[in-house]
Amino acid sequence: MSTKPAHVTGSGAQTGNVIRDSMMGLVPGTVDEIIALNGHVWRESLVSPALLEILRLRNARTVNCVFCKSVRYDVAKADGLTEDRVQLIAEGYEDSELAPREKAAIALADAYLGFPAGMDADAAGRVADQFDDDEIASMMVALMTYNFTSRAAVSNGGMPEDALPIMEMSVSAAAG
């Protein structure tokens, strides 16, 4: 396993919160709200934890955050997202056994993550068929949260090149 050196190492804190102990702990003016945001996203979103985890893992895959790809959140597992279903969040997902609502969530994530970012009429129609405006807004907040934190890790470097073992994580470890 080779690793490109990180621009910035962790904050030096050992609080047990993965965000506060990361480099983000070096900016006290934002770290508390980032931790709070993670909590709000996981605990108070308007879609299910399993659907959030699908968004998070689709983002992790596209951004190629090795850490994020290895993590499985406990709340999503409790919500019924099995490892078999996680493996369907990949190329060819449209022909998979994922539910229409899950496929539409992936289409939304891909629109957000694309170059150029945006939705064509087909994707917009699929999303509109499955979600109301409140749910779409909620998923966009979740996507932005997962995307900016994973890209922070990736842009900083220090990321292993090889896949890591699957690791279950409690929401409380990143959300206080």
Binding positions for other proteins, rule: CB under 8 A: 5, 7-8, 23-24, 26-27, 29-30, 33-34, 36-37, 40-41, 44-46, 63-64, 108, 111-113, 116-121, 124-125, 127-128, 133-134, 136-138, 140-145, 147-149, 151-152, 154-157, 159
- For residue 73, report the phi and psi dihedrals to the nearest 5 degrees: -80, 135
Residue whose CB is less far from other proteins, 87 or 132: 132
CB 98 within 8 A of CB 91: no
DSSP 163: P
Nearest distance from residue 8's CB to other proteins, in Å? 5
Residue whose CB is less far from other proteins, 113 or 169: 113
Residue whose CB is less far from other proteins, 3 or 87: 3
Nearest distance from residue 120's CB to other proteins, in Å? 8
CB 87 within 8 A of CB 138: no
Nearest distance from residue 83's CB to other proteins, in Å? 26
CB 143 within 8 A of CB 119: no
Distance between CA atoms of 126 and 71, rounded to whole angstroms? 28
**Residue 5: C-alpha distances to residues 25, 53, 61 (Å):** 19, 29, 21
Residue whose CB is less far from other proteins, 80 or 125: 125
